[in-house]
Chains A and B, each alone.
Chain A
């Protein structure tokens, strides 16, 4: 036991999740630069937090992620599902209709990721209302970035969820940058303090420390369930890469945490693992090699997979096709 509720296996699993996300993230960024993936949203820096979210959530909880949740998504729906969507393949649940990392999976209680920042927070609140009304077990966990805290959606969701005492946990993945805009300009109060204005608890945590983040999220889920009130977690992390592959952060900031630095979440968990003698250098190296091989193999497989054909273009716009959709189907060239 590392802590009273984290076993040795848990922390090895978390470490594997961190390594998987880092390896996959770098691989995807690389193949984007080679021109094989049209767009990508880098996740570097968020890995420990994603591992914590992935491990703390239970199957009964409804997860409403945002677009920078690669590791949390993999923990929830599996690598295959994420890559099928990432490469817009014919196996994609959504038939390639939205950008990479915009997953959706009803069977696994995952809400559809939306591009518009904060746009999902009221829907998440509605799912929480419905859960409460239908007496479903579990709570709703919604993630979003620090930029989302300036949207009306965030404030309305905080207010409505408190007014109706809804079982929802808001996790702000505060990576301190909304594209080029730093969090200290985004808002003049600590994000966790905003919860007080709506009548519930806000907690600030170190999102780069897996053990702290896992504890905090797990406890918050139990407290939301027990207390029938929302909780807001401000998980402070750092976006080590660009906002998207269309962004060049050198234009507006000096990156303060680089790969391998002591504050890199991967370094933090790796140092913990070594210090606590959970894995030795050889075991660590074996894990990295194994995951590297898996990532290379799987990315290549999904990269080559067929894409949905033009015959799928009009599927599921309405339950039944209106007459003009039937006409337009005949116009595809």
Chain B
């Protein structure tokens, strides 16, 4: 066990898998000598060389497209997109190829690849370094979408993603890169894809969240002595329906918290699933506390992102309904 932040844990996972499997290749902008702008690949170029830790010309389309070809040919590429905000020139590659090649060839070709990218706010990055676009990817059949909320899960989940034979969008909450540390095993271990974690247990209300909002939700619940189930989804698609539904059936109340905007987002899907499968158990409307439906603002970001007051308002509303 070593105490690590998320960046170190991710670096450790990549190191573990590069060492274990020669088919693992990292590819992205500034990831080699520079170690990536967030330092996730620090030291790996020196250890594994430029054939396996590949810095690229400045083209997200190129990074994702090249990874698709590598994966088709039997490698396990791990492309890094420097910020999720820059991914859109690769959207055709992601949606038309990465997501569809397995289905379209009936499994003749599979794409075991993990697209890593930092997302969300927390670095005063304005509209082009702060986006939470997970819904686009979660809405696309064929993609697995995961997001860890702490260093331990980050390492185990990245290892699971690398070993998965499905293409995985691995979304890293950049606001948590350096802000929390916990004990991370030095060796290989996995955190299961498709399984949520109940990180706090309680009977009055279910809080469903993931990625960048998990530590905030946890601290709000603890600080205000709320008797709540707090669920960290970890996987967005396919999300762990059973853990969510079982909890809501017990508490009768659900609040969903995410940093992404509300309209047509992940919260809407969770909320609809609860309504479809557990409406008879509900004692209050399902509420969502989310980012605002505007681009992420540069100087007023704190008003965009969910905060303690907004989360408590929603909790109080459903508890006192």
The minimal Cβ–Cβ distance linking A140 to chain B, given in whole angstroms, is 8
B254 within 8 A of A: no
Contacting B at CB under 8 A, from A124-172, are 124-131, 133-134, 152-153, 156-157, 159-160, 163-164
Minimal Cβ-Cβ distance residue in B for A115: B96
Set of chain B residues within 8 Å of A297, measured between Cβ atoms:
none
Set of chain A residues within 8 Å of B67, measured between Cβ atoms:
126
In contact, A322 and B165 (Cβ under 8 angstroms): no
Segment of A92-100, A176-184, A216-224 in the binding face: A92-100
B127 within 8 A of A: no
In contact, B238 and A324 (Cβ under 8 angstroms): yes
The minimal Cβ–Cβ distance linking A132 to chain B, given in whole angstroms, is 9
Set of chain B residues within 8 Å of A123, measured between Cβ atoms:
65-66, 68-69, 72, 93, 97
Contact of A130 among B57, B73, B102, B194 (CB under 8 A): B73
A319 within 8 A of B: yes
Minimal Cβ-Cβ distance residue in A for B89: A152
Minimal Cβ-Cβ distance residue in B for A122: B65
B218 within 8 A of A: no
A129 to B64, CA, bound (A): 13
Contact of A129 among B66, B104, B105, B109 (CB under 8 A): B66
In contact, A116 and B96 (Cβ under 8 angstroms): yes
In contact, A153 and B238 (Cβ under 8 angstroms): no
The minimal Cβ–Cβ distance linking A157 to chain B, given in whole angstroms, is 7
A123 to B69, CA, bound (A): 4
A90-117 contact mask (Cβ, 8 Å, vs B): 1 or 0: 0001110110001011100001101110
B287 within 8 A of A: no
Set of chain B residues within 8 Å of A242, measured between Cβ atoms:
none
A319 to B97, CA, bound (A): 16
Set of chain B residues within 8 Å of A111, measured between Cβ atoms:
72, 109
A316 within 8 A of B: yes
In contact, B62 and A159 (Cβ under 8 angstroms): yes
Contact of B61 among A133, A156, A163, A318 (CB under 8 A): A156
B7 within 8 A of A: no
A14 within 8 A of B: no
Set of chain A residues within 8 Å of B102, measured between Cβ atoms:
316-318
A121 within 8 A of B: yes
In contact, B104 and A104 (Cβ under 8 angstroms): yes
Contacting A at CB under 8 A, from B27-62, are 51, 54, 56-57, 59, 61-62
In contact, A97 and B106 (Cβ under 8 angstroms): yes
In contact, B69 and A160 (Cβ under 8 angstroms): no
Q: Chain B CB within 10 Å — which of A105, A121, A317 has the most? A: A317
In contact, A130 and B69 (Cβ under 8 angstroms): yes
B103 within 8 A of A: yes
Interface size class of A (residues with CB under 8 A): 35 or more
A153 to B73, CA, bound (A): 19
Set of chain B residues within 8 Å of A133, measured between Cβ atoms:
25, 51, 75
In contact, B103 and A317 (Cβ under 8 angstroms): yes
Contact of A152 among B61, B97, B237 (CB under 8 A): B61
B71-105 contact mask (Cβ, 8 Å, vs A): 1 or 0: 11111010000000000010011001100011111
B108 within 8 A of A: yes
A178 to B109, CA, bound (A): 29
B164 within 8 A of A: yes
In contact, A160 and B66 (Cβ under 8 angstroms): yes
A249 within 8 A of B: no
In contact, B141 and A317 (Cβ under 8 angstroms): yes
Question: With A93-B108, A95-B106, A322-B194 in contact, is A122–B68 under 8 Å at CB?
Answer: yes
Set of chain B residues within 8 Å of A156, measured between Cβ atoms:
57, 59, 61-62, 65
Set of chain B residues within 8 Å of A95, measured between Cβ atoms:
106
B235-249 contact mask (Cβ, 8 Å, vs A): 1 or 0: 001100110000000
The minimal Cβ–Cβ distance linking A103 to chain B, given in whole angstroms, is 9
B110 within 8 A of A: yes
Set of chain B residues within 8 Å of A316, measured between Cβ atoms:
102-103, 106-107
| 19 further interface pairs, Cβ-Cβ under 8 Å (given A114-B97, A163-B56, A317-B103) | A95-B106, A97-B104, A97-B106, A105-B108, A112-B105, A112-B109, A120-B97, A122-B68, A122-B69, A126-B66, A127-B70, A127-B73, A130-B72, A131-B73, A134-B75, A156-B65, A159-B62, A164-B54, A319-B110
Q: Which residues of B contact A (CB under 8 A)?
A: 25, 51, 54, 56-57, 59, 61-62, 64-75, 77, 89, 92-93, 96-97, 101-110, 141-142, 144, 164-166, 194, 237-238, 241-242
Q: Which residues of A contact B (CB under 8 A)?
A: 62, 93-95, 97-98, 102, 104-106, 111-112, 114-116, 119-131, 133-134, 152-153, 156-157, 159-160, 163-164, 315-319, 322-324
Q: Can you give 12 contacting A-B residue pairs, CB < 8 Å? A: A97-B103, A122-B65, A122-B69, A123-B72, A123-B97, A126-B68, A130-B73, A130-B75, A153-B61, A153-B92, A160-B62, A317-B141
